[in-house]
Structure 1
Amino acid sequence: MKIIKRFACLMLVALVTGCQSTLIDQPFSADISWQTQTLENGLTVHIKELPNQAVSTRFMVRTGSRDEAEDQKGYAHFLEHMAFNGSEAFPKNEIVSLFGDEGVAFGQHLNAFTSYTHTVYQVDLPSNEKLSDTLAWYREIATSLTLEPEEINKEQGVVLGEFRFSFQGHSDANSTDFEIDRLIAEQLYNVDEDVLGTEDSIRNISEDRLRDFYKTHYTPSRSEIFIAGDVDAASTIKEISALFATWTATDQHAPVNKVSPLSRGENSIVRVNDVSFPSTTLLFDLGANPMETAADFENFAAASILSNAISTRLNDRARDLNAPVQSTHAQLIQWFERMVLSIQVSYETPKQQEAMLFLGEELATLRDHGLSTLEVEAQTSDFLKLESTFADNYTARNYAEDHVFFRMIGRQTLSPETYKSLSTVFVNRADKAWFNKELKSLLTTKDVQSLVALEHHIYPTEQVKQQQLALVADMQKAFKRTGNILVLPDVISDFPMPDKTGEIVAIQDLDDNTTQWQLSNGVTVYLRHMPNSGDDVHVYAGSKGGLAALPPSLGPAGLLMPGAYSESGLGGFSFNDYNRLMVKENAYIEPMVWENLHGFYGSSTKASLPLVLASMFQGFQHATLDEEMFERHKAQFIKNRRQYLDSVDGKALMAVSNEIYDENSVRYILTPEDYEQVSANDVRMAYNNLMRTNRGLVYVIAGDIPVDEFKPLARTYLAGMTFNDLPTESLYAVKLEPKKDELTIAFGPGGNNVELFTMFARDAEKKTTKDYFLADIAGRILTSRLTEQVRETGSLDYSPYSFVMWPGGADTQQLLIVMSSSIIKRKEARAALDKIADSIGHGATPEEFSSTSKQLSHALQDGLSQPQEQARMIFNYVVTDADPLAVVNPDSVIDALTQEDINQYLKAFTSKSATRIDVTNLPSAP
């Protein structure tokens, strides 16, 4: 009897085990910290209490361009614009000034966007003090937009400016990624236009049809409010209930559009902009993912890990084979209601067939022989680190954005902690065999289609289409053949340790969690201990110098140097082996050679920090240049450079820069021929001049690393380095030598777009801590004036802006004011720009100074808890001898600034010794 019972138990276990179809056996649910309630009228409210945090809010309406009738193209997006242009309680543009006075910057904290399926309004508050005003505005958006004819006419000019920005004056428009998104949207949502609509539909907008769209689609049952931060959920829901109680608009039976799968086996042929290389992309429809079951999570995790593994493998093989490709990568697209895997290769047109065959053959090898143990371990480790980083560093804004995003794509919102927990279980149970089975299944699916992107000057005539279809067929044949067996590394030896150590001379406490260290070799270290930063550590290491420290003859070599040494590998490892090791160990490092500084940036987990520091040690001390890899990198660099400089953006930049800067300036634009002349020895000289020379080397480390834990690392990896010492250098010369004070060129995009800018330049002393803040505030003040006068009042441009360009150590600072207009309003636009430029000499009003100071304070708050942002800013500050504690406590500097400080700063740009240059970039000839 006992034997029978035991046998029955074993059979039961076997049956249960055999039926289990997922690796994850732990239950999970939606993020219960979000308190959700649907009001009687159908409005859904989501609130997450986060004591002592800022308050992030969103108002989402489940309507977008797919809901538009044929005579309403672009109306969903246009209505989003009109929400800022007046309602019953907030006339005209009052909402911008209302929130701006409390530190909410238009465009950064106060914004909105429209997609194919949703419209989302955003207000990120520094505290909960303006929450009631925010909710009142959302109520006005829901029911009380005035949509006055005068305001509609004005906003037409702004939206037409967005057309120019998106389709004529912006390099992202008609890029391959843009075309991919448009293709997916067309197939999923049956839309045949961009979200913006058409220029004709906006020029001829109908007030009545706009109101019809508003009344039909802005209804309670289609709307949701999201609030995350320092709020009380019960009282906030009560306030919302009272405020929205009278919103009882009945649904107009607007159709709820269904999502279709992507087309199988379809081939699409498009043209891309002049900045992009031609390319071929494979799109795999991975289906919807509601994230409700273990299978859902495993599908998401596998897609994330395998997309990165495919991308890494393709890049490794392109290097190994010296394949004729410009770039190749895979990425998981999650913006839509179905997950889509994109695998892409770009190339020069004469090399198209070779590049496409490379893609087909390499994907066949992945399908038939899978990933190595090392590849799987590297990507799973990287995935686990990513999920852990999210869990450890979330802010109110992150929570609000994520919850909105997941609601938009139909995915249940999980807490970061749940993601971390599920990721850990998954990674511990999914082995190489499991991943390779999933990879084979993915690469044998029929739910795949191709998109071929042609060069901008090649039109998809019928003959061209047939040629492209033949190339796609050849690629598919290569993919169907059995893939090659590769010898892949499964083990990587340890990275070399430094050959000698040094000592710590002194450690000084700057505050409770920030210390300054002096090492025996003259290196200075700043350790920012951030106990709440989780497992994330960020390192910046370098010194002032950069391209400005090189003689002009070595300038081209300085720009080639980072990529050339990266491609050569590090520590005796090839690039591919080193990259595999870094991914496996959750570590990352990249060289920096900028105009004013040079060095390395790295990130890691706490456990892999020694590998990052050892890599930097090798990078500063023992990097070697492989001449074959250098020649490959130079050729690739020149191709990319020529592609850009032949584009309208590149031509315009070269025309302006080379008109206003001396030919020996670091900002003078070099030609591809200049890079052709660079030898491997030139690059070695640039390396020795920068990396092997100490111009005040500084390390900044931010993360949960206490002082005592870092001491042995400092002695081992930092203090033993030796350099050719140089005294601290003085200001470097920007060499601004304009040939004219007014410049008209014709290198803009063909069509209706005129680009205008005015630049003020003045001599600069050494950049101080106060200067960092004043430069930011100055840019914000002038951008605010542009928004008010050029965008809202003049309706001349969509996104005018201003900023100060002043790298630390430069002898010149430049204030730029930038806008565009339609060609028929060129004179009006220049007059508006001149008015803003002429106002600089009058300084700032008390209201401008107060609001922009608050906006800057608000903008810096999120960075106080982010180790990468703390490391980056402290590094930038201390390299130029500014106060690192200003990064830790920015309000201490902001509060000390005065009205007179900003007035003097602005007025100096219009002094007699300052330079003004006006530039007009007309459309280029067809």
Structure 2
Amino acid sequence: MKYRHLAGIFALTLVGCASQPTSTPFEPSQHWVTQTLDNGLTYHLYPDSNESVSIRLYVHAGSFQETLRQAGYAHYVEHMAFNGSIHYEHNDVIDMVAKSGGQFGADLNAYTNYSQTVYQLDLPDNQHMDDALLWMRDIADGLTFDPQEVEKEKGVILGEFRFRRSEPDTLYEHFADGSDYLTYDPLGNRSNVQMATADGLREFYQTWYQPQLTEVIITGNITLEQGEKWVRQYFSDWKQGTTPRPARPALSQQNTSDLIYTASAGDAPRLSLFYPQGEIRIADQETLLEYRFDEIATRLMEHRLQNAFYNAALPTQDLAAFNYNTDDQRYTELTIAFPVEQRAASQSLFLNTLASLRDHGATQQELDMVLQSYRDDLENFDWYRSQLTPNTLADDRVYAISYDEVLPSDLEYKKGLKALLSAATLQRINQHLNAFLTVNPMIELVGAENEDLNTLEKSTDSLRQILQQPGLMETVSQVDTPFLSPAAPGDIVHTQTFSNYPDLTQWTLSNGVEVYYLRSSHAGDDVYLRYASLGGASALPRDLYPAGQLAVNVASRSGLGNLSNVQLNNYLKENNIYLGPYINETSHGVEMSANKKQLGNVFALLNQLTREIHVDDNQLASVKSETIQAIEQDKASPAGQLLYAINHGSYTEGSKHWLFSEADYQQVTPEQIYQVHHELFQKQRNNTLVIVANTSPTELQTLLRQYVGSLQFDAGSTPDFSVGYRDPIQARLELPINNHANTQYFVRMIAPVRTADAKTVFMDDLLMRIVNKRLTAVVRENQSLDYSPFAMAVNSDSEHGVDWILSASVEPADAQKVENAFDEVIQSLAQSISADETAIVAKQLITDLNNMQKNASGMAWYINRYVINDFGLDAALDMEATTRSITASDLTQRAQQIFGASATKQKVLMTPQPDAI
């Protein structure tokens, strides 16, 4: 153990010596104003031009401030802030948040950690600042701790245990073994929660909720004068206490011995390596540079590992390299999950690839592709800065307080990027890689159920020996012409503008493709494309359904044009292009994004992907293996067994929703993958391309003629969007398969109604918010049965029907109670929706839609969705008018369609296995 730590410190210091001769603290950002009131309360203000406002109340008290007798009290007090105070009785604060246009829900408005409790409100404007700050002031010293409310909240908190602690976090618990982090779990323990009293909670509250232990953060649509006035008005009379601010916890001693255990049901066998990278806190430019060197090394390792497994066509369930943070320390995790029969081959390739990178380093091409994102960050820094929202800024300040960091000035941030780009030479990065991978890592081995853990434990020495062997040099050949030249160019035959939306232009191409170009400053120097059409699985004959589910992965791993799979991966990263083809139940297409300097390459990629794909037999076999393993894992887990039971009990075998067997996927042929591509990407079904960028329309028109107008399509038939439900659907399913001591309860509502236009889409969004609000009110707040009941729609756009699921996780003894509670909610929805409810959720939707208009990628998706489904683009673009046109009567009628007597109701209970109780 000592050797491992010393080796890690020594190896990383070899690289760090030259870069860390001194400590250069950050110059703090001048955008922030920080002051302290006479009573010791610190406040941070960040005025900007955004319309929205974000508020945070940060209390320096968490589970580390509890005695063992008080375990869980900091978190319990956080809950009580929503259950009665001087100015807000019971759950009035929830109504206040909703009426202001804000969101309420689990984790949205407060959280408790080891050293802090944070309350947060994100408001669409500054019109409700007084209401919000009045609640924050109540949190300070005005919580009432009504004994009845305290008692009632126990059920909610116990529900949070089910929500957060249903599965053991084996890895985290291993790292934290023997430390205070494991002893002082912020949730506490169930027995303490059950025995908690109003007096006990009040004692903790009065000890730790004091102004000198508290910080207030306000960002967004305020002036500096307004912010200071509000803080003084609401907090200056809060009496200073005597409790000293807790010292920042010392770095914990972490357990980094090897970890070997059996996978949970539904998880795959795995090998992971953990390399220690030191403290999370970044205090100065030198630490930041070292952090970024680690980040570059991590990206290079992930890229090299991806290429190695692509080239070998070995099946994987997961392959990644990323930061794994414990509460105060940072590790780099390199991980591979695989079919159990491929353990030896996968582990050997994984370790040999890392050894090669350690001994021979990265290539200049690989380093350039990783550094490109940092160059883009520097080049576009001012634009990125302008896009920061008040809630992001507020959360950045919370993070800085938590880790005692300085938020650097814009000049400092640019300075750090310039220093990185200057220092990150190939020689220096390869030295860093060598030092990084010379460290003896912690090994995590996750075994399959049929693997012997003793054998796995003994294998760690041989794994280290493989890693320590000299690595072989790897080379990748280059391709001068990556893609085939497009056919003869097409033309633009029609142009349309929109008087109410002057930044949007529509072009119709000679081959029938409709193009929508939204010129948006929110895109910055990037371009976002969404090319799609109706169809997806609905456009395929039944015998091609399994092939349709494999096609994207197989084609993506088989190369494109003149590029092999490895060369394609390199090409995308070199040019910083995101390529995301997809096939779902009712549509298919490709999502792309890049810097607008790459526009020509993006259009060439789109042209090639549409015209021709490759299908490599080895890659097809690999994807089949992965899919079959995923099915086997699902069937081994209670959640998977539940899913299959619901699916096969709800749909006919001809339905596109039917979950297929391992044998169905094993029989997929290369010819079927080609057929899927031809049926979906080479036929015309209102094919639509949406582009969101801030560039010249003339440049786009040239590329459109060359790369999109030149595409040739066969005529496509109208897809069948019927769902294929069984008749009848079993009204009730009870499955005693849960391996946890709780009952999962679901109600499914299926109604044969269409979603015909934009107004109906908006109505369903509003109604979903109302359903979730009522579920929270009845199931959580009134009856304390669950922490996070929820509702969601599972039907796809254009399907002939809606399909909604309502769910909760409860104690087995409360199964009948939750069933009655859900019946109550569903019954109330079928009766009426009030005007007040309608107005509240309409304001929330308008806020969300206004925010989405600032998201270029989101707008590409939004326009594409409403066009290809023929929901009506004009109504979709006139977001506020369409939302305000919806009345309570409209929503009542829609709710009656979905929750009324004509809908099909299915109740599903997953109850504990006998040995799980």
- Shift of residue 530 of structure 1? 0.6
Match of 1:197 in 2: 188
Q: Deviations over 1:304-326 (max 9, x none)?
A: 22212111111211232344653
Per the alignment, residue 137 of structure 2 pairs with 139
Q: Which of 863, 872, 878 lines up with 1:874 in the alignment?
A: 863
Q: Which residue of 1 aligns with 2:674?
A: 684
Give the Cα separation in 2 of the matches to 1:101 and 1:456: 51
Tell me: CA distance 1:499–1:62, structure 2 relative to 1, closer, same or farther (3 Å): farther
Which of 615, 621, 629 aligns to 1:639? It is 629
- In the alignment, does 2:722 pair up with 1:724? no
SS in 1 for 2:786: coil
- How has the CA–CA distance of structure 1 residues 612 and 771 changed in structure 2, closer, same or farther, with 3 Å as cutoff? same
Q: Which amino acid aligns with 1:102?
A: S
Contact kept in structure 2, 1:734 and 1:810, CA below 8 Å:
yes
Question: 1:66 is matched with which residue: 64, 67, 77?
Answer: 64
Partner of 1:218: 209
Structure 2 equivalent of residue 702 of structure 1 = 692
Alpha-carbon distance in structure 2 between the residues aligned to 1:490 and 1:709: 29
Matched, 1:440 2:434: yes
Alignment correspondent of 1:400: 394
1:101 aligns with 2:89: no
Contact 1:330 1:344 in 2 (8 A): yes
User: What secondary structure does 1:382 align onto?
Assistant: helix
Between the aligned partners of 2:838 and 2:720, the Cα distance in structure 1 is 30
Cα distance in 2 for partners of 1:889, 1:110 equals: 29
Offset at 1:688?
Answer: 1.2
Matching residue of 1:151? 149
On the 8 A contact 2:479/2:563 being kept in 1, the answer is no
Please list the CA deviations of residues 165-196 of structure 1 after superposition, one character each: whole Å capped at 9, or x if unmatched: 2333xxxx44xxx4444445557754336432
Q: Distance in 2 between matches of 1:425 and 1:498?
A: 42
- Report what 1:452 is aligned to: 445
Work out which of the residue numbers 123, 126, 133 in structure 2 matches 1:125. Answer: 123
Please give the residue correspondences for 1:189-588 in structure 2 after superposition, counting only pairs within 5 Å. Answer: 190-192=181-183, 194-253=185-244, 256=247, 258-260=249-251, 263=254, 266-288=257-279, 290-323=281-314, 325-333=316-324, 336-385=327-376, 388=380, 390-391=384-385, 393-414=387-408, 419=413, 422-445=416-439, 448-455=441-448, 464=453, 466-489=454-477, 494-510=482-498, 511-588=501-578
Checking the alignment, whether the CA contact within 8 Å between 2:754 and 2:802 is kept in structure 1 is no
The alignment status of 1:621 with 2:621, answered yes or no, reads: no
- 1:615 is paired with a residue of what secondary structure? helix
Q: Which amino acid aligns with 2:474?
A: L
Please state if 1:784 is matched with 2:773: yes
CA 1:527–1:839: 2 relative to 1, 3 Å: same
CA distance 1:131–1:22, shift in 2 (3 Å): same
Q: Are the aligned partners of 2:300 and 2:367 in contact in 1 as well (CA < 8 Å)?
A: yes
Where structure 2 has 5 or more consecutive residues not aligned to the other structure, the ranges are 1-15
| Cα displacement (A) at 1:543 | 0.2
Output one character per residue of 1:11-55: Cα deviation in whole Å (capped at 9) or x when no partner. Answer: xxxxxxx99847999996222201111222222211111124211
CA drift of 1:249 comes to: 4.2
- Matched to 2:132, the amino acid is T
Distance (Å, rounded) in 2 between the aligned partners of 1:352 and 1:20:
40
Say which is worse superposed, 820-829 or 295-304, in terms of deviation.
Answer: 295-304
What SS is found at the alignment partner of 1:117?
coil
Paired with 2:812 and 2:449, the residues of 1 have a C-alpha distance of 23
User: In the aligned structure 1, how far is the partner of 2:261 from the partner of 2:305?
Assistant: 24
Q: Distance in 1 between matches of 2:151 and 2:165?
A: 21
State the distance in 1 between where 2:897 and 2:462 align: 64
Q: Deviations over 1:379-437 (max 9, x none)?
A: 11134446748445322222222222233233322357754563255225522112111
The answer on whether the counterparts of 1:359 and 1:475 sit within 8 Å (CA) in structure 2 is: no
Greater mean deviation of Cα atoms: 513-522 or 27-36: 27-36
CA distance in 2, matches of 1:302, 1:280: 24
- Distance in 1 separating the partners of 2:184 and 2:657: 40
Give the letter aligned to residue 892 of structure 1: A
Q: For 1:192 and 1:19, how far apart are their aligned partners in 2?
A: 37
Alignment CA distance shift 1:293-1:272 (3 Å)? same
Task: Give the C-alpha shift of residue 635 in structure 1.
Answer: 1.3
> Aligned partner of 2:429: which letter?
F
In the other structure, the counterpart of 1:9 is none
Is the 1:23–1:430 contact (alpha carbons within 8 Å) kept by the matching residues of 2? no
Q: Is the 8 A contact 1:621 1:692 kept in 2?
A: yes
Superposed displacement of residue 714, structure 1 = 1.1
What is the SS of the residue equivalent to 2:84? coil
Amino acid at match of 1:365: S
Decide whether aligned partners of structure 1 residues 548 and 32 sit closer, same or farther in structure 2, where only a CA change above 3 A counts. same
AA partner of residue 607 (structure 1): K
How many angstroms does 1:271 deviate by? 4.8
- CA 1:732/1:452 → structure 2, altered by over 3 Å: closer, same or farther? same
Relative to structure 1, the CA distance from residue 480 to residue 846 in structure 2 (aligned partners, 3 Å threshold; closer, same or farther) is same
Give the superposition deviation at 1:841: 1.7
Equivalent residues of 2:277, 2:330 under 8 A apart? yes
User: Identical aligned pairs, as a percentage?
Assistant: 27
Return the match for 1:917 from 906, 912, 917: 906
> Residues 314 and 622 of structure 2 are in contact (CA less than 8 Å); yes or no, is this contact kept in structure 1?
no
What is the alpha-carbon distance in structure 2 between the residues aligned to residue 399 and residue 179 of structure 1? 33
Q: 1:648 to 1:419 in 2, by over 3 A?
A: farther
In the alignment, the residues of structure 2 paired with residue 101 and residue 752 of structure 1 have an alpha-carbon distance, to the nearest angstrom, of: 38
Kept in 1: contact 2:313–2:619 (CA 8 A): no
Instruction: Give the superposition deviation at 1:721.
Output: 0.5
| Structure 1 equivalent of residue 86 of structure 2 | 88
Worse-superposed segment, 526-535 or 730-739: 730-739
Instruction: Report the Cα distance in structure 2 between the residues aligned to 1:25 and 1:521, rounded to whole angstroms.
Output: 62
Give how far 1:107 is off: 2.0
More displaced stretch, 894-903 vs 844-853: 894-903
Which amino acid in 1 is paired with 2:312? L
Whether the aligned pair in 2 keeps the contact of 1:283 and 1:342 (CA below 8 Å) is yes
Counterpart CA distance in 1 for 2:601 and 2:895 is: 46
Report how far residue 71 of structure 1 moved: 2.5
CA distance in 2, matches of 1:148, 1:494: 70
Deviation of 1:794 after TM superposition, in Å, equals 0.4
Query: Structure 1 residue 486: deviation in Å?
Result: 1.9
CA distance, structure 1, for counterparts of residue 881 and residue 412 of structure 2: 38
Output the amino acid matched with 1:347: F
The amino acid of 1:238's aligned partner reads K
> Which residue number corresponds to residue 812 of structure 1?
801
How many angstroms apart in 1 are the aligned matches of 2:262 and 2:366?
35
TM-score by length of 2: 0.92
Contact kept in structure 2, 1:24 and 1:426, CA below 8 Å: no
Paired residue secondary structure (2:125): coil
- Give the letter aligned to residue 818 of structure 1: S
1:373 deviates by 1.0
State how many pairs are aligned. Answer: 895
Deviation at 1:535? Answer: 1.8
Between the aligned partners of 2:181 and 2:281, the Cα distance in structure 1 is: 22
Q: How far off its partner does 1:592 sit?
A: 0.7
Could you give the per-residue CA deviations for residues 836-895 of structure 1, whole angstroms, max 9, x where no partner exists?
111122120111111111111122222111111111111111111123355544212111
Cα distance, 1:110 vs structure 2 = 4.9
**2:177–2:254 Cα contact (<8 Å) kept:** no
Post-superposition shift, 1:699? 0.6
Cα displacement string for residues 787-829 of structure 1 (whole angstroms, at most 9, x for unaligned residues): 1111000001111122334422211112332222211011111
Q: Deviations over 1:437-490 (max 9, x none)?
A: 1222222346x43333344788xxxx83x5343222221222222222222457
Pair 1:254–1:382, CA change in 2 (3 A): closer
Task: Tell me which amino acid in the other structure corresponds to 2:673.
Answer: V
Per the normalisation by structure 1, the TM-score is 0.91
Say if 2:274 and 2:331, in contact at 8 Å, map to a contact too: yes
Moved more, 487-496 or 359-368: 487-496
- Equivalent residue number for residue 36 of structure 2: 38
- Work out whether residues 529 and 592 of structure 2, in 8 Å CA contact, stay in contact via their aligned partners in 1: yes
- Per-residue CA shift, 1:44-83, capped at 9, x if unaligned? 2111111242111222223333333322333222222221
Deviations 1:697-719 (A, max 9, x none): 10111121232231112112211
The CA deviation at 1:210 is 2.8
Moved more, 661-670 or 67-76: 67-76
2:86 and 2:876 map into 1 onto residues whose CA distance is: 42
RMSD of Structure 2 on Structure 1 (CA):
2.8
1:899 paired to 2:897: no
